[in-house]
Structure 1
């Protein structure tokens, strides 16, 4: 079906504008951290907010205020988990993963690759994407908590103790 009725289109436009304003207001009040995709938990909240918005816009079974309540529940829970993570290490350990060094001083850590379910080719791709052509020029490749790779060249290595699971790393 391509067209049902003008009433459906007007409903989507009106609800879309109202839901958008409500979501933006809630996000502005809750702060930048709400949509910071710093880890898997943050990504889930972001996707859930988008799904909730889509449901409010397209489902006649969900009222605008129910959708706004959904936004608020997700944002309040994300805020609470983030705040508790800052204060309590056990909450942080449950909600967030730790970064993992996959390559240190040009040598790939095969055990870390298996533990993190990352292939050697993915590490090599990250190194190439950073503009480095030789593994000996890499001080480290770190799998960050959000699933991205950080490639640190030897020329920018700085303090090795900041690298996760590196010898002498701060824990």
Structure 2
């Protein structure tokens, strides 16, 4: 009966892991690159709400450790599988998005990703670039950073972390 309790915790933990993975994929994992107060509150509330779903009535130390161990193991396995199998990688992980190519803005991508004109210009300034025409390539990376390669051969490397902004980019 005790073994069944821990197998139940393991099953529940795996189910919650996959639910959270799918939810983050649907609702936008790019937003997690820079957490604001509301994001932190959401994460804390989610962790509290799914705790009981994972351990059920078993609130013992061992029950919590089993749930945590299962989460670590499943995360390790998923990382190995996404590295090995491209189809799983494509299914679970976001792809980088081109925002500017050879000075031309991709307004469709900018609107879809809710990247404002001010946010894009801030990233460009941090990369030492003043005009859109001076951008060879601008990408929103999978971790939420905006990478910019300028037309100038003397490239300046900086690190711009995207902040969530509610004003959409418009033509």
Which of the residues 106, 109, 116 maps onto 1:109? 106
Matched, 1:68 2:65: yes
Residue 40 of structure 1: how far off its partner (Å): 3.5
Q: Secondary structure at the match of 2:152?
A: helix
Aligned to 2:122: 125
Aligned to 1:93: 90
Gaps of 5+ in 2: 1-27, 33-42, 52-57, 156-171
Between the aligned partners of 1:104 and 1:86, the Cα distance in structure 2 is 28
Q: 1:98 to 1:118 in 2, by over 3 A?
A: same
Q: Secondary structure at the match of 1:146?
A: coil
- TM-score for the superposition, normalised by structure 1: 0.51
Q: 1:65 to 1:109 in 2, by over 3 A?
A: same
Matches within 5 A, 1:1-171: 40=29, 62-155=59-152
Q: 1:154 to 1:67 in 2, by over 3 A?
A: farther
Q: 1:69 to 1:155 in 2, by over 3 A?
A: farther
Q: 1:62 to 1:153 in 2, by over 3 A?
A: farther
Q: Secondary structure at the match of 1:145?
A: coil
Q: 1:111 to 1:85 in 2, by over 3 A?
A: same
Write out per-residue CA displacement over residues 108-134 of structure 1, whole angstroms, 9 at most, x where no aligned residue. 111111232322222112111223223
- TM-score for the superposition, normalised by structure 2: 0.51
